[in-house]
Structure 1
Amino acid sequence: MLRSATILQARLPLGDPHDCSDDPDEIALLRAVYDTLVVRSSDGFTPRLAQNWSASREARLWRIRLRPGLIFHDGSPCDAPAVQHSLLRMARPDRGVALGASGVWAPYLAGAEIVAEDALTLRVGLNEPMADFLDLLAQAYIAAPSSFAALDAGRTRAPIGAGPFRIVRVTASEILARRFDAQVSGPAPAHYEIIWRAEPDPALRLAALMERRAQVATGLDFATSRALDAAGGTRVETLSPVCVVVMMEAARGPLSDPRLRRALDLAIDREAIARTATGCAAAPLAGFVSPRHLGAVEGSAPNRDLARARALVEEAGHGDGLRLTLDYPTSMPDEAPAIAALVADQAAPVGFSIDIRKHEDRAAYARLVSSGEAGDLCVFDSTPLSTFRTLREKLDSRAPGPWWRGYRNPAVEAAIDEGRREPEDARRGAAYARAFRALQDDPAWLCLYNPLRVAGLAGRHRDFRFPPDGAIDAAALPPLAGV
């Protein structure tokens, strides 16, 4: 029996595979059409296009062996030269686009020696050690070189990958894909055909699922989706690794004083912000990365301490109070307006008066932040599922990335240096845990919460789980009853 499944999600953003996205709607589409050398699993990484890999002691030289006989959807070979071309394209400064900034992959791949030693062996010599290179490879979607000209021209809606599904038809509101039976690099998908449909309204997505007009719906409302269980469906809740934070400008202005950053951190009530801004659809953050990240320290969010916060403000010479500016977007996160108001209210009792500035254009807002022109505070919600990348791109003063806001901490940078050279996961995690604690003591951001994402499936599927990145994997769906 040839099964078909219909997936409803808010949008159908099928973009360039060599850009950088943590949008679960886009990741769901990319991972269905393209494949990666490795995939992140609950206990590390699992081979996909790669058969095995090895790294030198200091993690600068990586050798990857591909599975034999791999092909792209157009029948061309998915071999070491093809993988080489995808990695070289990722390294270009105009690729790796994320929220208005480009070149996200360039610090890791630009200038690297990427060589196809033979048809199945790829050698990657990095400019600097990167023990977490698999973090990057898990997001390195391999595209057929024959598709590069179209991708460079911005034509991303006819992709040619080596993933479990091949695109058959694309419209503004629907994408139809069929199983690529010529090869399967993982377990065979249970469904021959997948139909993704765009439905912006979460209430309508839920209604369609409950009425069996769809079999999967993502991005459901946290509270109303509880009706699924009583209706014979499955409600699946997962912690998103994306961290919602308020970045603090540490290069200039009042928050260049670590005492004032610490005072702000002590003034806020994370649990109240998570509860109020999201309707309880979030878990308060204990630090700069989620519990899913390597090196995250278990424990509750830091306690609010208004007396200590007031004392630090006075110690910094602002006994009469001080004024800050806070910028926020109206989307990504959608709760940003509520966050801005809550932070301003909670900071007021210890002497901070916060002027709030709204930005409607999300891409322009990202450029404002990456250019360093945002105010003292800015709401942000993008975090790669990589502790090293988060540290390297946002918190390392020696190689400031687009989201670095002037923060400097020798203990954090020492942990980065130790972790990037340590191939053993437990020891690398211990180094990142030291950075985690250092950032608790000397915060760069107000770390607020991880969102809780909810999806629904038709029928009872109690063992179904999201992948670690919180985006649906169409190839891993259980057999679902017909619509």
Structure 2
Amino acid sequence: MRLALERIYLPPLGRVTDDTSVLTLRSLAFEPLCRWQHGRVLPALLAAWSHSDDGRAWRFVLRAGAVFHDGVACTATHVLATIRATLEGRDMFGMPWSYARYLAGAEIVTDGADAIRITTPEPLADLPEILSEFVCAREDASGEAVLGTGPYRITRYLPNQAADLLATDPARTPANIHAIAMPDAEARFGALRTEAADVALNLERRDAAPGGHGLVWGEAPNTLSVMAYLNGAEGLFRDPRARLAANLAVDRDAIIARLFHGLGLPATTIVSPFHLGMRASRPSAIPHDPARARALFAAAGAGAPILIRAPDHMPERAPAIAAMIAADLTACGCPATVEVIADRPLYARQVSARQIGDIALFDSSPHSSFRVIDDKISARSCGPWWQGHDDPTLEALFRTAVATQDEAARDAAYGRCLARLQDNPPWLFLFHPVEVFAARAGLPPLALDHRGVLHFA
């Protein structure tokens, strides 16, 4: 099977990513420590776990018989190295991840060859979900992290060009995968049309609606939230009426229809419908209500121009999204101008330093409800992306959720957090992208999950 991806890249040890091309390639060759699926956490390389009654002491047991592709047995020592490397890792912009903060003061040790123990200072019921973002890998003799325990062995890896993978089980279909780097979406689509590729991902990036051409098409809404930070520390959006007004003023459906050919799901709160908490709390989107928005903006004292900052990419078509937001706000009595920043890493660092103007277009990628609240919302945590939102009611609800061990009860507890965040929004909620792939007819069934990872039936 010839697979056209936007990127061919295997990050170094300890690097977490939300790039769907990288996630798809990684899922073939490597295993996460735990597996996330639609807001639930399932066994993976760590096959089972238990915890003390107070939720502080955890024991995780490895899958029996786990072996790296070079024949080396995977042990608790490798898992411990994976955790330590990830805790020390940095993101694509060179900024430190939050994992070290989550596990600050934790004792992490091996317990024989097949288990690890993690003891945290405070209860952390979301620990398995956090570990679902950690991928166990080893470097080969050349220093590339290409040795995994997954269903396919990497036989050739040319960064930014191609990778060849061979199934470890001869009965698996496809037995061989040739992954090709094609950064341009139209080139990936063209490779399908000329039969140079069998499957192509991320075709939502084309400026065309999916479908037709004798291809088999598939799509899935992604857990990613395209959103905009509202400055809760100073200016107009310290007022909760102004924050609600912004959400009432902006026409999400129009943004999705005009800029993305309808490939989006309107956001209802800070996370997607597939996050923990959304089974218990399924709020509908805040309606587009310009009249109510105008009244709330007037009550909050709007009138002076506000500044919307946006990157030139990530999210896709960010300047055009910002322009539509500005037009909607201006029409509701909140005049807005747009500043576009071309240097994306600089922009990320500015957002983390809370240099966002009044509104800053961004995205939120963690599939963990805990991580989104802790990194971006909670005034108690003051995480790397916190923008001044301070809601004591939310903080009490969040503390309860973090300490709740029972899965159904924790889902309900996070549901209460998410409902509160819709009533008192910290952001301008926009949409969740729909990702698209296409394949030539006659292949085994394929499907995207809500993280954008391609799966072979």
| Alignment TM class, shorter chain as reference | over 0.9
Q: By how many angstroms is 1:249 displaced?
A: 0.9
Q: 1:100–1:366: 8 Å Cα contact kept in structure 2?
A: no
Q: By how many angstroms is 1:253 displaced?
A: 2.0
1:74 aligns with 2:70: yes
Q: By how many angstroms is 1:235 displaced?
A: 0.6
C-alpha separation in 2, matches of 1:461 and 1:167: 22
CA distance 1:450–1:462, shift in 2 (3 Å)? farther
Where in structure 2 are the equivalents of 1:175-214 lying within 5 Å?
175-179=162-166, 181=168, 189-214=172-197
1:298 to 279, 282, 285: 282
User: What corresponds to 1:137 in structure 2?
Assistant: 131
Question: How many positions carry a matched residue from both structures?
Answer: 453
Query: RMSD of aligned C-alpha atoms?
Result: 2.3
2:203 to 185, 207, 220: 220
1:7 to 3, 7, 13: 3
Q: Letter of the 2:319 partner, please give it.
A: P
1:386 to 368, 376, 398: 368
User: What corresponds to 1:312 in structure 2?
Assistant: 296
Q: 1:270–1:284: 8 Å Cα contact kept in structure 2?
A: yes
Where in structure 2 are the equivalents of 1:405-416 lying within 5 Å?
405-416=387-398
1:113 to 96, 107, 110: 107
Q: By how many angstroms is 1:299 displaced?
A: 4.4
> What does the per-residue CA deviation read over 1:220-239, in whole Å, with 9 as the maximum and x for residues that have no partner?
147443014xx1x3211100
C-alpha separation in 2, matches of 1:46 and 1:54: 13
> What does the per-residue CA deviation read over 1:226-261, in whole Å, with 9 as the maximum and x for residues that have no partner?
014xx1x32111001100001111012221122221
Q: 1:87–1:109: 8 Å Cα contact kept in structure 2?
A: no
Q: By how many angstroms is 1:460 displaced?
A: 4.7
Q: 1:96–1:106: 8 Å Cα contact kept in structure 2?
A: no
CA distance 1:421–1:89, shift in 2 (3 Å)? same
CA distance 1:227–1:72, shift in 2 (3 Å)? same
User: What corresponds to 1:433 in structure 2?
Assistant: 415
C-alpha separation in 2, matches of 1:317 and 1:39: 48
2:350 to 339, 358, 368: 368
Q: 1:328–1:340: 8 Å Cα contact kept in structure 2?
A: yes
Q: By how many angstroms is 1:267 displaced?
A: 1.2
The unaligned stretches of length 5 or more in structure 1 are 479-483
Q: Letter of the 2:212 partner, please give it.
A: A
> What does the per-residue CA deviation read over 1:122-176, in whole Å, with 9 as the maximum and x for residues that have no partner?
11112332212222221110123x66x98xxxx6x45222222232222244333
CA distance 1:36–1:173, shift in 2 (3 Å)? closer
2:80 to 61, 80, 84: 84
C-alpha separation in 2, matches of 1:252 and 1:6: 52
Q: Which stretch of the first structure deviates more once superposed, 442-451 or 457-466?
A: 457-466
C-alpha separation in 1, matches of 2:22 and 2:93: 13
1:167 aligns with 2:150: no
Q: 1:220–1:453: 8 Å Cα contact kept in structure 2?
A: yes
C-alpha separation in 1, matches of 2:372 and 2:176: 37
1:449 aligns with 2:431: yes
C-alpha separation in 1, matches of 2:305 and 2:191: 49
SS at match of 1:392: helix
User: What corresponds to 2:43 in structure 1?
Assistant: 47
Q: By how many angstroms is 1:63 displaced?
A: 0.8
TM-score, normalized by length of structure 2?
Answer: 0.93
User: What corresponds to 1:481 in structure 2?
Assistant: none
C-alpha separation in 2, matches of 1:323 and 1:42: 41
Q: 1:234–1:461: 8 Å Cα contact kept in structure 2?
A: no
Q: 1:101–1:402: 8 Å Cα contact kept in structure 2?
A: no
User: What corresponds to 2:328 in structure 1?
Assistant: 346
CA distance 1:22–1:376, shift in 2 (3 Å)? same
Q: 1:397–1:406: 8 Å Cα contact kept in structure 2?
A: yes
Q: 1:295–1:432: 8 Å Cα contact kept in structure 2?
A: yes
Q: Letter of the 1:170 partner, please give it.
A: Y
Q: Letter of the 2:6 partner, please give it.
A: A
C-alpha separation in 1, matches of 2:268 and 2:454: 26
Q: 1:282–1:451: 8 Å Cα contact kept in structure 2?
A: yes
Q: By how many angstroms is 1:463 displaced?
A: 5.4
C-alpha separation in 1, matches of 2:366 and 2:171: 28
Q: Letter of the 1:471 partner, please give it.
A: V
SS at match of 1:118: coil
Q: By how many angstroms is 1:383 displaced?
A: 2.2
User: What corresponds to 2:55 in structure 1?
Assistant: 59
User: What corresponds to 1:377 in structure 2?
Assistant: 359
SS at match of 2:156: strand
TM-score, normalized by length of structure 1?
Answer: 0.88
Q: By how many angstroms is 1:69 displaced?
A: 2.9
C-alpha separation in 2, matches of 1:428 and 1:65: 23
CA distance 1:272–1:61, shift in 2 (3 Å)? same
Q: By how many angstroms is 1:56 displaced?
A: 2.5
Q: Letter of the 1:25 partner, please give it.
A: S
C-alpha separation in 1, matches of 2:104 and 2:79: 15
